[in-house]
Amino acid sequence: MIKLPLARAAAAALLAAVLSAPAQPARAEVKDYRFELVQPETKVGETVLTVRLVDRRSGKLVPDAVIFAKRLDMAPDAMEEMATKVEQLPSTEPGLYRFKARLSMQGRWRLSLAAKVQGETGTVDDQLIVQAAK
Ligand SMILES: [Cu+2]
């Protein structure tokens, strides 16, 4: 059985990864948060993308996060170099974050966001796929 040593090595690697993982703090972690697009489809051209930040444990919206990095590109359609400027607009509702952009091509765009949540250490990193249609 040729596969056995490989399986054993994989198991050992997994065990090592588990053992070296940092202890889980009892409090909330950044992985408890995720961004969601309110509308995953939009039109080509000038658009406003609205995103909600959700606490996955409670399902509640999370206000006042500081979004310090954002990028919008066509990586899902193999055009990562095709990026467009993203401008954050003032929030109109707590927990909703709005971004203005010009989508020059139909297809799938990837919105990458990095944010700090009030009272949490670490960074919430998320990537959302927007479909732009004519
Ligand atoms: Cu493109």
Q: What is the pLDDT of residues 89-112, one digit of tens each?
A: 999 999 999 999 999 999 999 999
> Between these two residues, 20 and 83, which has the higher pLDDT value?
83
Residue 76 tokens, joined = 């899902």
C-alpha 42 to ligand 1 mean position (Å): 15
C-alpha 113 to ligand 1 mean position (Å): 20
pLDDT at res. 24: 44
Contact (CB, 8 A) for 36 and 55 = no
* pLDDT tens digits along 7-54: 566 555 655 554 455 444 445 678 899 999 999 999 999 999 999 999
Q: Which residues contact 73 (CB under 8 A, 6 or more apart)?
A: 79, 80, 81, 82, 83, 84, 109, 110, 112
Cα angle 17, 22, 23 (rounded to 5 degrees) comes to 120
Contact (CB, 8 A) for 126 and 34 = yes
C-alpha 48 to ligand 1 mean position (Å): 18
C-alpha 130 to ligand 1 mean position (Å): 13
Which CATH architecture group holds 28-133? Sandwich (2.60)
